[in-house]
Amino acid sequence: MAGILYLVATPIGNLEDITLRALKTLKEADLIAAEDTRHSIQLLNAYDIKTPMTSYHEHNKIEKAHFLVEKLLSGLNIALITDAGTPAISDPGEELVRQAVAAGIHVSPVPGAAACICALIMSGLPTRRFSFEAFLPYDKKEREMVLEELRDRTGTIILHESPHHLKKTLKDLAAYLGEDRRICLCREITKKFEEAFNTTLKGADEYYEQNEPRGEFVLVIEGRPLGHAKKEAAQKLSELPVSEHLKIYTDQGMDEKSAMKMVAKDRGTGKREIYAAIHKNCRGEE
């Protein structure tokens, strides 16, 4: 009978932020797969956990995942941990989970701390709708594509960033999302010098031009106001010829009568005007 792969969340700073179930799982597992065994041994020593560890990280994730899956299939229970927080989120553990699921192995989460969620709930920004992007790509073209896509998101956006790249990222975000977009920069979460800095992208850029960034950051960024997005979308539609505007809706399966109602609503005009414009175009008078 195959073993179970446990995804065990560990503290992101304060060692007391670990659950009773996480401690029990780590003690009872046959093996712990850790991103950095030298880092994780501090946590294990703090709670007198003697379970053997093996390294599982970005540079060995494919081959080591094969090895760990074989161990799971042989009946061993394995606990996967990352350096801090929940494994498999923007983390090499994603590959191990993928292979384990493909092999029919049961994967069980052991919930706990996640830096992205902690930053979101302390930011003061809307929490009902949000998306997590981890680190922006370093490749220029790919980075530009992601930034363009982020510009129109209406939900709160969460990013990770290192102190070495923070200044460039803030400038890029301001250029694509707008200088007035609100942001909360969180660092040292759950630690002694925990900080949540609420400002705008322009304010953050100016501040860190004068103050050197320290520590890893979670950036929580205000989404684009829904009303603005709707207004711009309606503006783009209203600039189309009426026939093209109508075709957008008929291509979605709407009958012509319903489509004309939608076009009239988008353009802020009456259905009669839309009908007249369409038939004028059909006679070749446009």
The string of pLDDT tens digits covering residues 51-84 is 999 999 999 999 999 999 999 999 999 999 999 9
- With b for 16 or more beta-carbon neighbours within 10 A and e for fewer, the 148-184 pattern comes to eebbebbbbbbbbbeeeebbebbbbbbebbeeebbbb
Q: Which of 217, 179, 218 is nearest to 199 (CA)?
A: 179
Predicted pLDDT at 256: 72
Q: Identify the residue with better confidence: 27 or 90.
A: 27
52 φ/ψ sector (left φ>0, alpha ψ -120 to 50, else beta): beta
Predicted pLDDT at 285: 46
User: Residue 280 corresponds to which tokens in the numbers above?
Assistant: 């004028």
Phi, psi (degrees; rounded to nearest 5) at 284? 80, 25
Global pTM?
0.78
Model confidence pLDDT, tens digit, residues 10-21: 999 999 999 999
> Alpha-carbon distance 109 to 124, whole Å?
28
Asked if residue 275 has pLDDT above 60, the reply is no
Asked if residue 277 has pLDDT above 80, the reply is no
> Alpha-carbon distance 142 to 125, whole Å?
27
Q: Identify the residue with better confidence: 65 or 280.
A: 65
219 burial type by CB count under 10 A (0-12 exposed, 13-18 middle, 19+ buried):
buried
Model confidence pLDDT, tens digit, residues 204-242: 999 999 999 999 999 999 999 876 656 566 566 656 777
Mean pLDDT confidence for 257-276: 69
- With b for 16 or more beta-carbon neighbours within 10 A and e for fewer, the 190-212 pattern comes to beeeeebebebbbbbbeebeeee
Question: What is the set of domains in the chain, with CATH numbers?
Answer: 4-113 (3.40.1010.10), 116-224 (3.30.950.10), 227-282 (no CATH)
Mean pLDDT confidence for 257-263: 71
Looking at the chain, the whole-number percentage of residues with pLDDT higher than 70 is: 86
Model confidence pLDDT, tens digit, residues 143-192: 999 999 999 899 999 999 999 999 999 999 999 999 999 999 999 999 99
> Alpha-carbon distance 7 to 16, whole Å?
18
Predicted pLDDT at 66: 97
Count the neighbouring beta carbons within 10 Å of the beta carbon of residue 44.
Answer: 19
Q: For 263, how many CA atoms within 13 A lie in the half-sphere containing its CB? A: 27
Mean pLDDT of the chain: 90
Name residues whose C-beta falls within 8 Å of residue 105's C-beta, 6 or more positions apart in sequence: 2, 3, 4, 5, 69, 72, 73
Asked if residue 270 has pLDDT above 90, the reply is no
Predicted pLDDT at 255: 76
User: Residue 185 corresponds to which tokens in the numbers above?
Assistant: 């920069």
User: Residue 36 corresponds to which tokens in the numbers above?
Assistant: 């950095």
